[in-house]
Chain A
Amino acid sequence: MKATNVDIPPDPSNATLLEERQSIPARPFLGRAPENFMRLVFREDRFFLVLSVFIGIFAGLSVVCFRFAIAWCRIYLLGTGATLAPLRMVLAPSLAGLLIAVLVIHVFPLARGSGVNQTKAALYIYNGYIPLRTAVGKFITAALAIGSGHSLGPEDPSLQIGASLASALGRRMRLSRDRMRLIAPVGAAAGLAAAFNAPISAVLFVIEEVIGRWTAGILGSVVLAAVSSVVVMRWFLGSESMFRIPAVQLERPSELIAYSVLGVIGGLASVAFSSGIATLRSRCRALPAWTQYFQPAVAGLLIGIIAVLGAPQVMGAGYLYIDEAMHGQFTWQMLAVLAGLKIIATLLSFTSGTPGGMFAPTLFIGAMLGASVGGAEHVLFPHLSGSPGTYALVGMGVLFAGFLRAPMTSVFMVLEVSGNYSIILPVLIANTFAYLISRSLQPTAIFDVLTRQDGLELPSMEEQREEGTLRVEDAMRPASGALLDAVLNARDSLDQVFQRWDAALPDVRLVRLDPTGWSSVTRQALEIMVKEGKGDLTLGSALSGRQLPFLHPDNPLETALRYVDRWPLLPVVSRADFRKLEGVISQQDVLKRYQLYGEGGDMRE
């Protein structure tokens, strides 16, 4: 919106700027250089950026420890070899499940689940508060669960550990409420970036799924935290990506059809996976409370049985097997079986309340499904150039888009993991199909389903994205009869007001000033001018110092709301020509439009 020199209320987003201007006394800059420098550094918003770096460092270090803990749990619970002893495969997840249940019920009740929703709840409900105990609990229980073979991943717990650490740090720093709310997502991005070794995806996921809005301040903090955590993680664990990335090729554009098929199948698999979680989780929660002690153990036992029966690949996060699938080390039939069994194993682990993430299982299922579809297509059409690895990579993105419903993150995640831009077209095509199918068959995203099952009502980022915005053009009315010419004198103007009386208009008329600008005049003001003998004065000269703000048709309607209570009638002008009146808008118009919308009216009339 273009504001003129009238008394316009300050835009809240500019508040900081105004405060800053007010707080700097008018003294020579050089004379107070040290103090000015200190002011520059120790303002809260800048200090928050510095704090973000520390959050990243602490989150990175915690995630490194978490990875060590998972590896040690795996070694001591399941053994050191790639082939596991059957007895261990059954006993380790079952007994670990019992211990986890006791810990979660009695010591760390907030450690349950994946961690994404808890971070969102901290942002929207608890003013950024996540107890440090949650980080400790998540660390211990998730490491035990993943290390013992439960079909869960380390990414979401890392996200929550990062958020929890950041929240604790923010509390110690006594940050303002606004900063406190944001600090948990900043820590979440740091945790996720370190766990995933993919800073861009982590930043995007947190912005897309947790915070839901972009501002320079938020982005700066999130990026700094993510980058510093990844640097720390790579310092200790190396910079290798999670998988050995195969060569990616797309020789003919017609092969995109093959990837579209993968998108469709991936979309359907995502729906099956998410509806399975939604259904089974609500049933598990409906069981008597005492069963919660045994649910993780039973899930572990069933996963162990699946492993003993010939699919040990479903145990744990399964990155090793994603890597093998990418390099064509399974037949397409085996890959399809593994994708199905992993869905079942993850359903069991997650819905039993075992702490752990869904990112890694999602990637596993996607990779297996992708490589399987690719393999089957190769059997049918041997001329296709895509390797199993390419299909597996695209498959990971497909499940990410279809199941986690993070379309942007899914694309960037594949790009970041593969480091190859030539995969972009297959990923875009397949992800779009998966996302659309998943949305149409399961309108509520899985994270929103889970929060609603928990009795919370957190803002759904997907619903917000889909929600339309009312604009000024939806509420404005035609300008006919509302305009007076600046060259008219007050007497003629008053006559014109009476001649073209419109009961629907407020008792005010707009005046187009020369050379630019708008003003308004009420009927009473015109009558007073005439009574005071100023009837010959032109409107232009009388109103030259009283300019109006104006709006454009595409401005959000809420922008109009900020002004209509102070000015009864506002001009809506073209962006190309500020003197061209597209319509007028009054408080009554705005309220009427909102009323219509509230009654279930369409976004557009």
Chain B
Amino acid sequence: MPEPDGDTQAAVGDERTFRRYLRHEPVVLALLSALAVIFFVAVTALSHLYQAQQEFLGNRWFMRGTTDLKQLHFDAAVTEFRSALLYSRDSYAYQLNLAEALIGLKRTGEAYAYFINLWDREPENGLVNLELARIAAQKSETEQALRYYHNAIYATWPGDQQVQRRETRLELIGYLLNISARAHAQAELIALAANLEDDPSQQARVGDLFVQTQDYEHALAEYRLSLKAQPHDPAALAGAGLAAFQLGRYNLAERYLQAAVSANPNDALSAARLKTAARIMQMDPFQRQISVAQRDRIVREAFAAAGQRLESCSAAGAAKGPATTPVAQPALSEDWAKMKPQITEPGLRRDPDLVNTAMELVFSIERQTSNACGAASETDAALLLIAKLHESN
């Protein structure tokens, strides 16, 4: 029998190996698959057990944290929320509450880290944007603060979205007023007023804010809307009185202020303003519906008051030293003295233009003395306001 050569031997060996594999490996693969399935099922069961425990522990710590947060026990709340996060690191609610608790502890830096992470995950979350805006406002990062405030205004909120958005805008307006960005605040207020529901208290609140931005026209409009529903609301009446007063509509101011003082007799500010308004009404010679005789009398009184004011101011200035006396004051004294003989009942009746000339001098004196000598008597204050009113007219 011939000896098989090397190649034949190798082929036979290879064939044997192949046969062995063919018998052995499919069985092995089947066994391995079965083992993998069994192991998988076992680990799934274990995993359910593990996940349930993790969820339970996370929730337990979270509930404790929420209770402490409500009771303003921020320190304990932080620890508890941190513990809750051990069991669900990515839980949005856990992180949000932890960040809120950190804010409570004034640990702004840490809170910011959480909030910015939450913002990355949900950029449209209103509360996160609001908190980021507050942090930026604290850090005087105005641009960032405005961006987050605006995000918050247009973000989604849990519960009543309209209320949350309105409150956020109101907070933004407060921030803008704090940083003296009055024009920006006014723009926000106009936007807010346009979307305001028929809520008299909110309308009065917006009116107050318009007053702070010195937009008295809008303020008066808001107070009026508020007073439609609650005509006897003392705050709205006082606000409307103030707005009308600032607009120089002293008649209207007088009416609102009178109602405000009647509704709330303790409102000293409105009472004082009412007195001033009444005085203005008495001292304004340019009012319509007054007789010539009344007008001449008012002019004579105003001229006399201006003279007294000039005198008292000059005396006070001389007592303090020459440096404090305004340069124009001697000239005004001269003009006043020169005009005084003409400011009589017949003089005024003879020359109706003298009313204007006399009142111009009165206004000049009041302005100058107000600058040089500061606060004046009630009559002088009224004259000054009349001057401003006619200046703008």
Interface residues of A (CB under 8 A from B): 19, 22-23, 25, 38-39, 42-44, 47, 50-51, 54, 57-58, 61, 64-65, 68, 71-72, 75, 80-83, 169, 173, 232, 236, 240, 244, 246-247, 320, 323, 327-329
Contacts and interface: CB of A to CB of B under 8 A. Distances in A.
Contact of A82 (B43, B53, B83, B113): B83
Contacts of B32: 51, 54, 169
Contact of A81 (B25, B26, B44, B61): B61
Main secondary structure of the interface of A (DSSP, over half): helix
Given A42-B18, A54-B32, A58-B36, A80 B61 contact: yes
Contact of B117 (A51, A72, A320, A327): A327
Contact of B29 (A50, A68, A327, A328): A50
Contacts of B21: 42-44, 47
Contact of B43 (A43, A64, A327): A64
A72 B80 CA distance: 19
B79 interface: yes
Contacts of A61: 36, 39-40, 43
A205 B54 CA distance: 32
Contact of B46 (A68, A169, A323): A68
Contacts of A323: 89
Interface of B: 7, 10-11, 14-15, 18, 21-22, 25-26, 28-29, 32, 35-36, 39-40, 43-44, 46-47, 50, 53-54, 57, 60-61, 79-80, 82-83, 85-86, 89-90, 109-110, 112-114, 117, 120
Contact of B89 (A47, A75, A83, A240): A240
A320 B46 contact: no
A80 B57 contact: yes
Given A22-B10, A81-B61, A47 B79 contact: no
A136 to B, nearest CB: 15
A43 B112 CA distance: 59
B362 to A, nearest CB: 59
A23 B32 CA distance: 28
A236 B43 contact: yes
A323 B109 CA distance: 15
A83 B39 contact: no
Contacts of A75: 53, 57
A455 B109 CA distance: 51
A25 B86 contact: no
25 contacts: A22-B7, A23-B11, A23-B14, A42-B18, A43-B21, A50-B29, A54-B36, A57-B36, A65-B43, A68-B47, A75-B57, A81-B79, A81-B80, A81-B86, A82-B79, A82-B82, A83-B79, A173-B28, A244-B89, A244-B90, A247-B120, A320-B86, A327-B117, A328-B109, A328-B110
B324 to A, nearest CB: 48
A20 to B, nearest CB: 9
Given A61-B43, A81-B80, A329-B110, 18 more contacts: A22-B11, A42-B18, A42-B25, A44-B21, A54-B36, A57-B40, A61-B40, A68-B50, A75-B53, A81-B86, A236-B43, A246-B117, A247-B120, A320-B86, A320-B89, A323-B89, A328-B113, A329-B113
Contact of B90 (A22, A23, A236, A240): A240
Contacts of B85: 82, 320
A71 B32 CA distance: 29
Contacts of A51: 32
Contacts of A43: 21
A332 B29 CA distance: 55
A263 to B, nearest CB: 25
B86 A236 contact: no
A189 B52 CA distance: 30
B18 A39 contact: yes
B113 A327 contact: yes
* Most B-side CB within 10 Å, residue of A232, A236, A246: A236
Contacts of B86: 80-82, 320
Contacts of A247: 120
A177 to B, nearest CB: 15
Contacts of A39: 18
Nearest to B111: A329
A47 B25 contact: yes
A64 B47 contact: yes
* Most A-side CB within 10 Å, residue of B11, B89, B90: B89
A72 B87 CA distance: 12
B35 to A, nearest CB: 8
Nearest to B51: A236
Nearest to B56: A80
B90 A80 contact: no
A540 B60 CA distance: 93
Contacts of B60: 80
B282 to A, nearest CB: 63
* Most A-side CB within 10 Å, residue of B25, B26, B29, B36: B25
Contact of B11 (A25, A50, A57): A25
Nearest to B37: A57
Contacts of B50: 68, 71-72
Contact of A58 (B39, B57, B79, B90): B39
A353 to B, nearest CB: 29
A80 B25 contact: no
A440 B39 CA distance: 48
B328 to A, nearest CB: 53
Contacts of B57: 75, 80
A81 B85 CA distance: 10
A24 to B, nearest CB: 9
Contact of B14 (A19, A71, A240): A19
A235 to B, nearest CB: 9
Given A61-B43, A236-B43, A80 B83 contact: yes
B45 to A, nearest CB: 11
A173 B46 CA distance: 29
A42 B22 contact: yes
Nearest to A240: B90
Nearest to A326: B113
Contacts of B120: 247
B184 to A, nearest CB: 28
A543 to B, nearest CB: 30
Contacts of A246: 117
Contacts of A72: 50
Given A23-B14, A58-B39, A61-B39, A83 B83 contact: yes
* Most B-side CB within 10 Å, residue of A64, A169, A247, A329: A329
